[in-house]
Amino acid sequence: MDDTFWDEADRLLIRYGTGFTPRVIERAAGAHVFDRQGRPILDFTSGQMSSILGHAHPDIVATVSSAVATLNHLYSGMLSTPVLELAGRLAATLPATLGKTLLLTTGAEANEAAIKMAKLSTGRYEIVSFDRSWHGMTQGAASATFSAGRRGYGPPTPGNLALPAPNAYRSPFRSSDGSHDWEAELAYGFALVDQQSAGSLAACLIEPVLSSGGIIDLPPGYLRRLKDMCDERGMLLILDEAQTGLGRTGTMYAFERDGVTPDILTLSKTLGSGLPVAAVVTTAEIEQLCHERGFLFYTTHVSDPLAASVALTVLDVIDRDDLVVRAARLGAQLSERLLALRDTYEVVGDVRGRGLLQGVELVRDKRSKAPADALGSAVTSACLERGLHMNIVQLPGMGGIFRIAPPLTIGEDDLHAGVDILEASLKAVLDTAPR
């Protein structure tokens, strides 16, 4: 039966990236998905890094059922109570300056809107982002994405400039004691940006923890210095917290760790816990400037009441169940387990990340740090055979990085079971590898 399914998939579907996981999924609940044969698969990716409340959370199910039956979609020029309530709830979780919200559907769409607002409010057009960035697949967001997908589509939007991502494990910028010299790296990166700029720097768009870029966590102090450098140039700072927002890193927003407030914040994935919900939040001053200059982002699903109702429920559950604190606590346990793997296995080169968004980089050996693509693929397959879904990112010049992002609601036993499976799979692959 599965062979027929995949034959039909080959015949009917447009392929849009890497190959599909070789299991046909029938349903999902909590931290597991289940294939056609009813076999449970522990989901260490929360869907597409989104379902922070787990799959089929009862509160989300109830909200969607109610909203679909009463008020799910309106003409884009109409407003409903859930949209206004969500704007107020988001503002209450953020620094006082961030009080204006635009409700959308996807992360790419939110970043498109943020980029347009930055350009319109500053009167400039250049956007700076990391060389390992991923901000979406639509034109403006894709042009600010440097980790993949740039070749073969014609010219990206003019004015997109790259800043070196501060990868402490692989950066060539080193202090005399061998530690990562991120300050020199950032200064060098902005010197290159200044040299390339046509004098029209509008904004810097970054993730506080690069996820698709290999779980690169910004060093403490980096974001503060970056904000200062943006201010010196009259640039806005846009933070894309698609994956880091709403508790995943152990704080409500990842930028809280550094005490830095962005000019524009984009939220998506986690805001809908698996459903298409996104938002742009900015200051009253930026919103006023954009409005005066004719800001237009009139999309089919802007201010949809269903999206707002779902996001409100996500915020309710996070607050009620104290999931931010829970993510920090479970994240500490996860770090301890992963660091033990690093200390045990020569091929586990690095462990990094925060809370329940962490990465494990596989290499051929710790001395060379050479990428281990085949090993990563084999371990991924071995994990799936044992009932664990893992996602590995393969980027040029880096080893395979497992992205670990289970739901914030995952049980402790399941969290540790997942790491047990990862270790068993790694050991099995190493034991059968040619000597």
Active site annotation includes 358: no
The CB-side HSE value for 252 (13 A sphere, CA atoms) comes to 14
Active site annotation includes 240: yes
Question: Collapsing DSSP states into helix, strand and coil, what is residue 19?
Answer: coil
Ramachandran quadrant class, 339 (left: phi over 0; alpha: psi -120 to 50; beta: rest): alpha
Q: Which amino acid is at 128?
A: V
Active site annotation includes 420: no
Question: Collapsing DSSP states into helix, strand and coil, what is residue 253?
Answer: coil
Give every strand in the sheet of 40-43, ordered side by side.
Answer: 25-29, 32-35, 40-43, 388-389
Beta bridge partners of 209: 217
Active site annotation includes 207: yes
Enumerate residues 6+ apart whose C-beta is below 8 A from 297: 102, 104, 112, 113, 116
Give me the catalytic one of 43, 134, 258, 263. 134
Enumerate residues 6+ apart whose C-beta is below 8 A from 241: 207, 208, 253, 254, 255, 265, 266, 267, 270
Give me the catalytic one of 43, 109, 126, 207. 207
Give me the catalytic one of 119, 126, 243, 258. 243
Active site annotation includes 385: no
The dihedral formed by the CA atoms of 296, 281, 121 and 209, expressed in degrees to the nearest 10: -120
Q: What token pair was written down for 272? A: 């809908």
Give me the catalytic one of 119, 124, 326, 403. 403
Kindly state the helix (H) or strand (E) to which residue 389 belongs, with its residue range.
strand 388-389
The CB-side HSE value for 3 (13 A sphere, CA atoms) comes to 0
Alpha-helical runs (H) found in 233-361: 269-272, 284-292, 305-320, 323-344
Beta bridge partners of 358: 353, 404
Give me the catalytic one of 89, 124, 248, 269. 269
Active site annotation includes 243: yes
**DSSP codes, 66-80:** HHHHH-----TT---
Give me the catalytic one of 109, 112, 181, 240. 240
Q: Which residues have a catalytic role annotated?
A: 134, 207, 240, 243, 269, 403
